[in-house]
């Protein structure tokens, strides 16, 4: 079973993603911020990460940069409510960029595509 680490500061989003992605057949772990994500990344060694951009403390772009420095091959999906940040240079290191929505079909499709 493929492992996904969901990183988002909003508890409702973490719960929704965990439920939906578990139903889609993935083993899902969650982290509430960048520091927790880095710890869990070492422990769980996921096959893919989703990262929110706007989080307190370490933001998603800093987390993305740190993860890329050590895990170059790990697929990363930026999942954010801010579609206008897609052109921001720091997001280019991600493998996909998805704007948050109540409908997770786009996110699920990107994850399936990246984990082929």
pLDDT digits (tens, 9 = 90+) for 21-36: 999 999 999 999 999 9
CA distance 47 to 26: 10
- Average pLDDT on 3-19 reads 96
Domains and CATH numbers, the chain: 3-114 (3.40.50.2300)
pLDDT tier, 66 (very low <50, low <70, confident <90, very high otherwise):
very high
**pLDDT value of residue 87:** 54
Mean pLDDT over 86-108 rounds to: 75
What does the pLDDT average to over 66-87?
82
Residues 86, 97 contacting (CB under 8 angstroms): yes
* pLDDT score at 94: 80
- Of the pLDDT bands very low, low, confident and very high (cuts 50, 70, 90), residue 101 is confident
| 89: confidence class by pLDDT, cuts 50, 70, 90 | very low
CA–CA distance, 95 with 64 (Å, rounded to integer): 11
């Amino acid at each position: 079973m493929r492992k996904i680490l969901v990183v988002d500061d909003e508890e409702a989003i973490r719960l929704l993603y965990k439920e939906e992605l578990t139903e889609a057949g993935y083993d899902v772990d969650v982290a509430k911020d960048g520091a927790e994500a880095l710890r869990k990344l070492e422990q769980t060694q996921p096959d893919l990460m989703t990262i929110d951009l706007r989080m307190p403390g370490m933001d998603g772009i800093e987390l993305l940069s740190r993860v890329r420095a050590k895990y170059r091959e790990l697929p990363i999906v930026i999942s954010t409510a801010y579609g206008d940040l897609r052109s921001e240079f720091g997001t280019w290191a991600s493998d996909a960029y998805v704007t948050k929505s109540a409908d997770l079909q786009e996110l699920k499709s990107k994850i399936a595509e990246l984990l082929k």
